[in-house]
Structure 1
C-alpha cells in the first residue's frame, strides 16, 4: 500500500459518522447492510447517510450493489486488512518479536498483526 492510499483512507474515516458506518459494515461482514438498515441503526436521514456512504465508496472502503430498489453496502475487508498490515509492517523495525509486551497488552487479535517467529511464541 502506498502512503497516499493510506492517507486517503484515513481522510475518509475522519468523520465520526463515516467511522461508525464503516465499523457497522465490518460487523456485518460479507452480508453487509442495505442503506435503510444503516440509516436506522445510526439514526441518520437518507440524504446525510448517502453523502457519507458515497465518500466511503469513493475511498474504496465500501462497495455497493443494487438489489432491486435497495442498495447493499459491504465493507472492503481485504482493504481494511491491507491497511492494518501497512500500519504494522514496520513495527519494532520490522522485528515484531521485539513487541511481545505491546502485543500482549493490545486487544488486536494475533491474526491481523504481523507474524511473530513461532520459536518465540513457544
Structure 2
C-alpha cells in the first residue's frame, strides 16, 4: 500500500502543473512561456499507435476538461476529432488523448473551471 502511494507521488511530481486558461490562450494565440510545459508533456506522453502510423492516419482530438478547485481533471468529454471516422487507429488515438489529458494538473483556485485542449497526431 505504501509503495502504491510512493508511485502515485512520483507520477504526480512528473506531471506538469498548468496555469488555468491555457485553452483560451491557445485559441487566441496568446500563449505564455509557462504553457510550453503542456506541449512538452504531450510530446513525452503521446505515442503514435502503430496501426495509425502504418496507415498514416493524422488528426486532432479536442477535449473539454472539467477541473476541480484543487486542479485535478474530474471529467473529460470529446468535443471534436478531425481523425477520419473509421480510420486505422482512430479509436486508439482518441482514447490515448483522453487518458493523457485526464492526467494533467492545473494550479489550484477558489473554484472549478473548464479547459478545452487539443492533442494533434501528425506523421512527419
| TM-score normalised over the length of structure 2 | 0.29
Q: Which one has a bigger Cα radius of gyration? A: 1
More helix by share: 1
Kindly indicate whether structure 1 or structure 2 has the higher relative contact order, using CA contacts under 8 Å at least 6 residues apart: 2
| TM-score normalised over the length of structure 1 | 0.29
